[in-house]
Amino acid sequence: GWADFHENKASLEFAGAFQAGVLPHLLLAHEKAADWELIDPCRVNGNMSADWHAGSAVLDGTVQGESGRFRYRGVSMDTFSAGVALREGKILIRDLHASGDPGTLDADFLIAPGDNRLRLKASLFPGKLAPAATGKLAETLSSMDFTDPLMLTFDGGAPGSDPLTIKGSGTLDFGKAAMRGAWIESLTTKFQLNNGAASFRDIQVKIGEGMGRGEFIYDYKNWEGRFPSVRSTLDPIKLMTWIDPRIADSLKAYRFTKPPELLLSGKVGLRNPDKNDLRIELNARSGLSYTLIGKDLPFGATSGTVLLKGQKLAIDLPNSNLYGGRVALKADVSFAPGDSRYGASVHLEKVDFKTLAMLYFDYGESSGSLTADYAFRALGGDERAMNGKGNLLIENGNVLAMPIFGPLSLLLNEIIPGFGYQNARQATTDFTVANGAINTRNLLIQGKGFNMIGNGTIYYLDDKMSMNMRLNAQGVPGLVLFPVSKIFEYESVGSAKHPKWRPKLLPKGSSSQGAEAAPAQQ
């Protein structure tokens, strides 16, 4: 090289190779230097010139550099190379290439006063970059598992260094990948960056047999995710796992036979969940399952809406069916940290009672239809925290064939021959649920020539019951028995699955023997 101090100019040409392992310790603090491990020599060549006759030095020249293997926080790279050109206060980084375990990256940069530009092409496995990141970015990257690389292109620029002023467009394309264990088959989209937001258009997502299409705006200026319009037949749990895992957890109680048709509109708060305001319209033609009092109910074709407001989901499914009858369900679920409260109200109309009795009582001899309403509040993970109330009507059924009432049939037959073997065709009651128990004060069972009035408690979590029933006869037998009808009272204590009924007080001359009847109390 040379320097002319009369003309205030200088020029330099250089080429060489050196072990760069010492550089981090010379240039960085000890803690940050420990993150770097440069294994192979670095090679560099180029030329530079300087002119300072007008005051501050003006540099021009080109530099070509290439490193061998190195590691940063355990992320291994095989090579890094780039050419740098300095002209008239502008810096051009061209032919930048990096490759290693996370994938490959090729880029060109232009850094100039009021004009910064970037052209980028990458093929990456994002999860492998997690050790190099910190905070939320590291958490997000570590939750990713890509079988196929993420393919990314971008061409854009900004007048300064503020990322909110970047403008440009690009494409995103990847194959099989997972976020927090939720796998998708493929995703392709075009996107634009403008005014602190990335607008993804022409999105096409495939999850299993489901497809999703639409638009999504990632507003990193206001930290919002907006859905102008998204239509999909994707698994809603997997879809929401990518967007917000807390919402996905709240939807897990609703298990769809096949992914429903979805229409999403609104927004989610990426940092502040109080910004959530999302509407999901769904049409589950193949039905879904929902757990109620410990049993899975298989609903048929179902349609309705899910509203996300703040940290609460409001679910309204007005059109569904269950066991040949109509069903409507409303529910609300909180997914705020530390709050696992939820509630629901269920309306059943003309549902096949025999199937329900088989499901809940493991008894298939009942018949008829059930119309009922039940509203409750509960706490996730605590079965005894359920509190609710409701009413039911059983029509055209064989009520006394239910396990909890079955032994009454034989007892009734001993008091009034023939009564015990006829069907009690209708039953009604209001009830409450609290602390693992169902309580009723006005159970009414009606049959031909008699009715039965009862009250008591069934402890469905502990297989216990404490019930009382009183027989009232009607018609001619009723005229004879009316003065003593209150004597025909029965009680059952012990197991709810295998109850034993016994008379509270027997009239003189009546036998105390009967199937599963305990000795009479005097």
Q: Which amino acid is at 460?
A: Y
Residue corresponding to tokens 């009795």: 357
Query: Residue 231 pairs with which residues in a beta bridge?
Result: 213, 263
What's the rounded Cα separation, in Å, for the pair 99 and 108? 15
Per-residue pLDDT tens for 91-123?
999 999 999 999 999 999 999 988 999 999 999
Per-residue pLDDT tens for 315-353?
999 989 999 999 998 999 888 888 888 899 999 999 998
Given pLDDT bands bounded at 50, 70 and 90, which one contains residue 70? Answer: very high
- Report which listed range, 129-143, 163-177, 421-435, 457-471, is most confident: 163-177
Indicate the helix (H) or strand (E) that contains 254.
none
Cβ neighbours, 10 Å, residue 471: 23
- Higher model confidence: residue 25 or residue 64? 64
Per-residue pLDDT tens for 227-280?
888 888 888 888 788 877 877 877 777 788 888 888 989 998 888 888 999 998
What's the rounded Cα separation, in Å, for the pair 316 and 376? 15
* Side-chain half-sphere CA neighbours of 315 within 13 A: 25
Q: Which amino acid is at 106?
A: D
Indicate the helix (H) or strand (E) that contains 141.
helix 135-142
Please give the average per-residue pLDDT across 430-453, as a whole number.
87
What's the rounded Cα separation, in Å, for the pair 67 and 222? 39
Token representation of residue 498 = 């295998």
E-strand ranges in 285-398 read 288-292, 295-299, 302-309, 312-322, 325-334, 341-352, 369-379, 382-395
Token representation of residue 53 = 């006759």
**What residues have CB less than 8 Å from 112, skipping those under 6 apart?**
89, 90, 91
Token representation of residue 433 = 């649920």
What's the rounded Cα separation, in Å, for the pair 392 and 439? 13
Give the residue among 183, 101, 190 at the shortest CA–CA distance from 147. Answer: 183
**What residues have CB less than 8 Å from 509, skipping those under 6 apart?**
none
Question: Coil, strand or helix: which one is 194?
Answer: strand
Per-residue pLDDT tens for 462-495?
888 888 888 776 554 444 444 445 557 878 877 8
Which strands make up the sheet holding 295-299, listed edge to edge? 255-256, 288-292, 295-299
Degrees, nearest 5: CA angle 262-263-265? 140
Q: Which amino acid is at 364?
A: G
User: For the purposes of burial, counting CB atoms within 10 Å of the CB of 281, is it exposed (0-12), middle (13-18) or buried (19 or more)?
Assistant: middle
* Pick from 170-184, 338-352, 387-401: least confident: 387-401
What b/e sequence results for 297-335 when a residue is b if at least 16 CB atoms lie within 10 Å of its CB, and e otherwise? bebbebebebbbeebbbebebeebbbbebbbbbbbbbbb
Provide the Cα torsion 416, 418, 424, 425; round to 10°.
-140
Percentage, residues of the chain above pLDDT 70: 87
